C-alpha cells in the first residue's frame, strides 16, 4: 500500500472498481493551476514560519513550476490511482524533487486544499462571467439608444397591451443582466476567502500565517472557523443560483426572439449565421440558437438543485459527498459563459423590422388606455372612463376598424365630452411620448436611461484592461 499517501494503516489494496468510483481526477484536473498556486503560497508560508528552510521552499516551488509546465505542455500523465488533482500534483512533485516533496503537505489537509482550489477557480471564472455580462449590457445600452423611438406593441398575457419602444424593451433586459452582474460581484466577494490553515477540520498546531497565504493569493479575508472553512460550499451554491438566474433571463429573451422572428410577429430578423435550415422544408429558417439557449436553462436549474441536495443534512465537517460539488459548478460555468458569449453576438447582429411592429400596433386597440386617460382629463372618474372605452372597443369589434377610425359623432355617442382633440391622443407615438416619467417608454426617457446605464454599469463592474 506504499503507493497511497494513507497506505500506512492498510493491509489490502484499494479495489480498482473503488478507485474508479471515488476518483475525481477526471474533472478536478481543471483546477491544476489553482492547486499549484495554492501549494506555492503554502510552501512559502511554511518557510516564513520556520517549518521549512528557504532552500526547501525554493526546491518545492521549482518542482511545482515543473509540474505546471508538464501539465500545460500535455506531457503530464494523470493517474486515477492518485485519485484527485491534489495527489496527482504532489506525487509527481515528489518524483521530481525527491523526499522533500513529502514536506509540502505539512500543516495542510486535502480538505482545506480542495476548498481553496475551488474558490480560486470559481473566483477567476466569475470574473470572466462578469466581463461577459458587461459586454451584453453594453450591447443592450447601444441598441436602446439607437432604437429609442422605434415603436412596437407591449404585451401582457401575450395580448397586445400598450405601445412601447424597442429601446425600452432592451433596457428591461439591461436591468436584468445588471442585477445578475451585481449578484455575481457579491458572490465573488464571498468566494475570495481563504480556508487554508484550517487543516482537516481542527486547524493546525503549527504557527501558520493564514493572512500571508490569503494575501499572496489575492484573496480578501480568511475563513474564520476551521470546521466551517472545510465544509462551507455556500459560495458554490450562490454561483449556481446566479447562473440559474442568468439562464432564466436568457431564456426569456430567447423566447421573445423566437416569437418575434416568427412569421406571426416578424418584429426582428436574426442573422443567417444564427439560424439553421430544415433538411426537408426548403423555406425554413429556424432560430436554433435562442431555442437552445432557452433549453439550457434546465441544466443550470438542475445543477443548483443537485448541489443543494448533496449538501443537505451533511454533518460537519468534510464528507466525501462534497466531491460532488465540482461538476455542477463546472457545467454551469461552461453553460453560462457559452450562452452569454453567443447572446452578445446574436443581439448585436439582429435587425428590427419597424414596419412589421408598426403594423401590429394598428390592431388591438393599443391606445384604449390613453382614451380612458383622455376622458379622465375631461372630468370623468377613471372607472367610468374605462367603461366608456370598453363600449367603444366592443363597437369596433363588431363593425371593424380601430378606435382612431371612428367618426367623431360615433365617439360622442359613447361620451359627449369627447372632442376633435381626441385623435392625436389615439396615436401610438403620442401614447409613448406621454410616458416620459422615470422608467417609462418615451424616447426621451429611454435615451436618458441608456446614458445613465453606462455609469451604473461601471459602478458594478468596470471594463478591465486587455
* Residues carrying an active site annotation: 157, 278
Binding residues with ligand ARG: total (CB under 6 A)? 10
Shortest gap between Cβ of 201 and ligand ARG (angstroms)?
Answer: 10
DSSP-assigned states of every residue in 218-245: T-SEE-S-HHHHHH--HHHHHHHHHHHH
Nearer to ligand ARG, 104 or 184 (CB): 104
Shortest gap between Cβ of 318 and ligand ARG (angstroms)?
Answer: 6
Phi (first) and psi of residue 194, to 5 degrees: -95, 120
Distances (CA, A) of 75 to 61, 83, 355: 19, 18, 60
Q: Name the nearest CA neighbour of 39 among 77, 67, 78, 2.
A: 67
Interface with ligand ARG (CB under 6 A), residue from 35, 56, 84, 331 = 84
In this chain, which stretch among 281-289, 316-324, 335-343, 441-449 interacts with ligand ARG, using CB under 6 A? 316-324
The span from the CA of 365 to the CA of 367, in Å, is 6
Shortest gap between Cβ of 86 and ligand ARG (angstroms)?
Answer: 6
For residue 448, what are the contacts with CB-CB under 8 A and spacing of at least 6?
A: none
Compute the Cα dihedral for 395, 399, 403, 404 and give only its sign.
negative
Q: Name the nearest CA neighbour of 39 among 59, 23, 53, 55.
A: 59
In this chain, which stretch among 73-81, 166-174, 318-326, 360-368 interacts with ligand ARG, using CB under 6 A? 318-326
Contact pattern for ligand ARG over residues 19 through 38, marking x by CB under 6 A: -----x---x----------
Q: Is 320 in the site for ligand ARG (CB under 6 A)?
A: yes
Shortest gap between Cβ of 92 and ligand ARG (angstroms)?
Answer: 16
Nearer to ligand ARG, 87 or 246 (CB): 87
Counting Cα atoms < 13 Å in the Cβ hemisphere of 243 gives 34
DSSP state of 146: H
The span from the CA of 270 to the CA of 284, in Å, is 13
Shortest gap between Cβ of 239 and ligand ARG (angstroms)?
Answer: 17
In this chain, which stretch among 142-150, 189-197, 205-213, 319-327 interacts with ligand ARG, using CB under 6 A? 319-327
Pair 449, 175: CB distance under 8 Å? no
Pair 304, 237: CB distance under 8 Å? yes
Nearer to ligand ARG, 170 or 318 (CB): 318
Contact pattern for ligand ARG over residues 259 through 298, marking x by CB under 6 A: ----------------------------------------
Phi (first) and psi of residue 280, to 5 degrees: -120, -35
Shortest gap between Cβ of 32 and ligand ARG (angstroms)?
Answer: 13
Shortest gap between Cβ of 327 and ligand ARG (angstroms)?
Answer: 10
User: Which ranges of 147-195 would DSSP assign to H, the alpha helix?
Assistant: 166-191
Nearer to ligand ARG, 75 or 313 (CB): 313
Enclosing H/E stretch for 137 = helix 110-146
Residue-wise burial string across 154-165, b where 16 or more C-beta atoms lie within 10 A, e elsewhere: beeeeebebbbb
Nearer to ligand ARG, 321 or 397 (CB): 321
Instruction: Name residues contacting ligand ARG, limited to 113-152 (CB under 6 A).
Output: 114
Nearer to ligand ARG, 59 or 231 (CB): 231
Shortest gap between Cβ of 43 and ligand ARG (angstroms)?
Answer: 19
Phi (first) and psi of residue 163, to 5 degrees: -70, 140
Contact pattern for ligand ARG over residues 96 through 115, marking x by CB under 6 A: --------------xx--x-
DSSP state of 428: H
Location of C-alpha cell 397586445:
160
Nearer to ligand ARG, 76 or 155 (CB): 76
Nearer to ligand ARG, 28 or 238 (CB): 28
In this chain, which stretch among 143-151, 289-297, 320-328, 388-396 interacts with ligand ARG, using CB under 6 A? 320-328
Q: Is 322 in the site for ligand ARG (CB under 6 A)?
A: yes
Distances (CA, A) of 417 to 232, 390, 409: 68, 16, 11
The contact set with ligand ARG (CB under 6 A) reads 24, 28, 84, 110-111, 114, 318, 320, 322-323
Amino acid at each position: 500500500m506504499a503507493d497511497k499517501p494513507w497506505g500506512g494503516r492498510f493491509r489490502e489494496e484499494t479495489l480498482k472498481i473503488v478507485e474508479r468510483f471515488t476518483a475525481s481526477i477526471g474533472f478536478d484536473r481543471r483546477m491544476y493551476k489553482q492547486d499549484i498556486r495554492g501549494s506555492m503560497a503554502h510552501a512559502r508560508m511554511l518557510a516564513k514560519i520556520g517549518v521549512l528552510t528557504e532552500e526547501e521552499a525554493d526546491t518545492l516551488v521549482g518542482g511545482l513550476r515543473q509540474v505546471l509546465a508538464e501539465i500545460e505542455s500535455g506531457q503530464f500523465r494523470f493517474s486515477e490511482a492518485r485519485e484527485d488533482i491534489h495527489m496527482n500534483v504532489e506525487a509527481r512533485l515528489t518524483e521530481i524533487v525527491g523526499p522533500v516533496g513529502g514536506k509540502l503537505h505539512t500543516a495542510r489537509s486535502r480538505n482545506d486544499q480542495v476548498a481553496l482550489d475551488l474558490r480560486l477557480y470559481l473566483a477567476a471564472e466569475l470574473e470572466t462571467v462578469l466581463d461577459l455580462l458587461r459586454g451584453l449590457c453594453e450591447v443592450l445600452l447601444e441598441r436602446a439608444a439607437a432604437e429609442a423611438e422605434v415603436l412596437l406593441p407591449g404585451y401582457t398575457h401575450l395580448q397586445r397591451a400598450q405601445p412601447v419602444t424597442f429601446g425600452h424593451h432592451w433596457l428591461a433586459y439591461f436591468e436584468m443582466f445588471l442585477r445578475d452582474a451585481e449578484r455575481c460581484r457579491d458572490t465573488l466577494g464571498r468566494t475570495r476567502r481563504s480556508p487554508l490553515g484550517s487543516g482537516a477540520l481542527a486547524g493546525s498546531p503549527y504557527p501558520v500565517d493564514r493572512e500571508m497565504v490569503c494575501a499572496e493569493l489575492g484573496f480578501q479575508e480568511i475563513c474564520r472557523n476551521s470546521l466551517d472553512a472545510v465544509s462551507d460550499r455556500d459560495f458554490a451554491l450562490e454561483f449556481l443560483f446566479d447562473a440559474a438566474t442568468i439562464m432564466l433571463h436568457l431564456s426569456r429573451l430567447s423566447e421573445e426572439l423566437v416569437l418575434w422572428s416568427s412569421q406571426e410577429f416578424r418584429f426582428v430578423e436574426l442573422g443567417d449565421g444564427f439560424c439553421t435550415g430544415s433538411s426537408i422544408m426548403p423555406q425554413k429558417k429556424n432560430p436554433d440558437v435562442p431555442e437552445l439557449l432557452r433549453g439550457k436553462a434546465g441544466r443550470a436549474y438542475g445543477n443548483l438543485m443537485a448541489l443543494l441536495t448533496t449538501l443537505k443534512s451533511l454533518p460537519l465537517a468534510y464528507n466525501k459527498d462534497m466531491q460532488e460539488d465540482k461538476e455542477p459548478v463546472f457545467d454551469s460555468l461552461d453553460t453560462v459563459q457559452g450562452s452569454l458569449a453567443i447572446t452578445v453576438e446574436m443581439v448585436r447582429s439582429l435587425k428590427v423590422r419597424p414596419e412589421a411592429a408598426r403594423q401590429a400596433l394598428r390592431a388591438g386597440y393599443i391606445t384604449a388606455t390613453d382614451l380612458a386617460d383622455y376622458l379622465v382629463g375631461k372630468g370623468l372618474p377613471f372607472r367610468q372612463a374605462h367603461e366608456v372605452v370598453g363600449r367603444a372597443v366592443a363597437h369596433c369589434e363588431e363593425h371593424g376598424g380601430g378606435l382612431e377610425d371612428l367618426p367623431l359623432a360615433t365617439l360622442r355617442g359613447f361620451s359627449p365630452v369627447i372632442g376633435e382633440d381626441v385623435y392625436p391622443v389615439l396615436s401610438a407615438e403620442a401614447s409613448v411620448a406621454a410616458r416620459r416619467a422615470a422608467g417609462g417608454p418615451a424616447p426621451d426617457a429611454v435615451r436618458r436611461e441608456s446614458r445613465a446605464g453606462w455609469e451604473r454599469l461601471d459602478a458594478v463592474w468596470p471594463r478591465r484592461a486587455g
